[in-house]
Amino acid sequence: MFLGCAIAKRTDSPEPDVAGKTAIRKPPVKVRVKSAPRKAAHARARVPNVERSALTRLRLVEATVQCLYELGYHQTSTVVVTQRAKVSRGAMLHHFPSKADLMMATMDHIRGKRGEAHRKHLEKITTEREQFLQLIDVLWEEFQTPTGVARIELMLGSRNDPELGPRFSKLNLELEVIHKELIWSRAQRLGIRNRKKVDAFTQLYAAAVRGLAIDALWPQSMPDIKGAIALLKEAQLNLLETLAEK
């Protein structure tokens, strides 16, 4: 009978501890389960492969410009450019398998920079006449920059390069044709109709400024060069006034 009463005893009653006192039942401890950390891609957006590739290519081209400016064409190797750009040799070969490929891409980059500089300089001037008279100034300014010097290095260095020479010569001819077309369009808007003289003047001032830029690589030549630029601009003004009257 006592055994049956013991079995019938409620099992949820507080149990006495060893000292005979009733133990206080504590509420269960809630264990917080930490969620898995988010992937780094959520915290920092991953750059798409196409964009990363374009950035690597740009770094290589910009490093090439600096090497040409500081070291010259013959000292600008793909190894030197790779080190300057801080990219792997494999990345260089992926984008530019040869030095000629790298130099052609650099020339295209320089062309874009020059076009951008012309637009920014001339858009500040409101009249067509003043824009035309500023053509020599903006070209001269561009030849004083690292891209301008790099352009000269590419032009001179490609002469004896059997791989780069023909490719650069073809591109250079195309750029000359485009340049003459742009100047002719400006001249027409000023009432000039003598295409032959405009083309000759375009050839003259481009070659003259380029030659003076080579002289400017020696700082001691700068005082005489400034006078030469002023004389070239004077000839430009005289030509404009003479042709615009006819």
Give the model confidence (pLDDT) of 145-197 as tens digits.
Answer: 999 999 999 999 999 999 999 999 999 999 999 999 999 999 999 999 999 99
Query: Is the pLDDT assigned to residue 139 strictly greater than 60?
Result: yes
Average pLDDT over residues 108-132: 93
What is the reported pLDDT for 13?
Answer: 47
Give me the chain's average pLDDT, please. Answer: 85
Q: Which residue has the tokens 């073809």?
A: 170
Percentage of the chain beyond pLDDT 70 is 80
CB-based burial label for 106 (10 Å; 0-12, 13-18, 19+): buried
Average pLDDT over residues 61-86: 97
Residue 201: CB atoms within 10 A of its CB come to 20
Q: What are phi and psi of 16, to 5 degrees?
A: -70, 145
Decide if 81 contacts 102 (C-beta within 8 A). Answer: yes
Average pLDDT over residues 123-144: 94
What is the reported pLDDT for 159?
Answer: 92
pTM: 0.77
Q: Which residues contact 190 (CB under 8 A, 6 or more apart)?
A: 128, 129, 132, 240, 244
Query: Is the pLDDT assigned to residue 4 strictly greater than 70?
Result: no
Decide if 26 contacts 54 (C-beta within 8 A). Answer: no
Name the pLDDT band for 125 (thresholds 50, 70, 90): very high
Query: Is the pLDDT assigned to residue 100 strictly greater than 70?
Result: yes
Decide if 76 contacts 156 (C-beta within 8 A). Answer: no
Higher pLDDT: 37 or 51? It is 51
What is the reported pLDDT for 244?
Answer: 84
Percentage of the chain beyond pLDDT 90 is 73
What is the reported pLDDT for 219?
Answer: 82
Beta bridge partners of 22: 16
Q: What are phi and psi of 22, to 5 degrees?
A: -80, 125
What is the reported pLDDT for 246?
Answer: 55
What is the reported pLDDT for 236?
Answer: 94
Query: Is the pLDDT assigned to residue 22 strictly greater than 70?
Result: no
